[in-house]
Structure 1
Amino acid sequence: MSVKSYPQLVAELAELDADIEAARRRERAAAMETIRELMTTFDIKANELRRDRRGPYRTRPVEMKYRDPVSGREWSGRGHKPAWFTGKDRSRFLIDGAADSLDAKKRA
C-alpha cells in the first residue's frame, strides 16, 4: 500500500478538479444542444419552462389611473408614487375612465 504525501494529494485533487470541470462543460454543452433541438421540434418557448406554483406567467398592460396635467405623465397607482403626485389630492389627477372604474370597484 502506497501512502501519498499531502502535496501529492493536493496536486491530485487539483488535477481531478480540472478534469471534473472539463467534463461538466462538455456534458453541459451537449445537454444545451439537446434542449435547443427539443424546444425547436416541439415549439417550446423559454417562459413555458418556468417553475411557477401559481400557474402560468402572463402579464397584461395595467390601466393608467392618474395623469399629471402639466407634464402629461401617467401613473397606474402601483409602485412608488411619482414626485408630481406626492402630497396632493388624488382626485385631482384621476383620468376620466379611471374614476368610473374606481367607483364600480368600491360598489362591488
Structure 2
Amino acid sequence: MATLSQLENQIQKLQRRADALREKKSTEAIANIQALMAEYGLTTADLAKAGLGKKRGRPAGSTNASASRGKTAAKSKLPPKYRDPATGATWSGHARPPAWIKDASDRSVFLIDSPATGSVARGGAASASRAASAKGAIKGATKGAAKKTARKSVQRASA
C-alpha cells in the first residue's frame, strides 16, 4: 500500500503532465486558428464584427425576468409589504422570499409602516389589538353567529 507522501508525489507528477499536455494542445489550437485566419485573410476585428469575440452570458443591457432575479423587482404588480432596513430592498410578501428575510423568525420587524419601525399602520395600537381579538374570536368560534359578530367588530375597528 502506498503512503500518503507517495500518493501526493504521484498527484504532483500527474498534474505536471496534465499541464504540459494542456499547454501543447492550446499551442496547437492557436497555430491552427492563426493558419485559418491567414488562409482566409481574417483579422481579430473581423471576429469581433461577427460576434465571435463576445463573452458568454447575457448582454449587458438585458432586461428579461431571469436577469433581474434576486433583485427587487421594479415591475412588481403588488405593492411592497416588507423592506430590508440595511439595503432598502422591498418584497411584496408573495412568491419566494428574498435571502434577507428568508430565515427571519419574526417578519413583522421588516413590515413597512410596522410598529417595530416606529410608525403605526392603519389606525393605531388600540385598533390593532381589537382586530387581533376579533380574529381570535373568529378562530375559536364554533357557531356562525359568533363569527358574524366578530367580523363586524373587525370592520368597525378598521374603519
Q: If the TM-score is normalised by the length of the shorter chain, which range does it land in?
A: 0.3 to 0.5
TM-score by length of 1: 0.43
Larger radius of gyration: 2
Please identify which structure carries the higher helix content: 2
Highest relative contact order (Cα 8 Å, sep 6+), 1 or 2? 1
TM-score by length of 2: 0.30
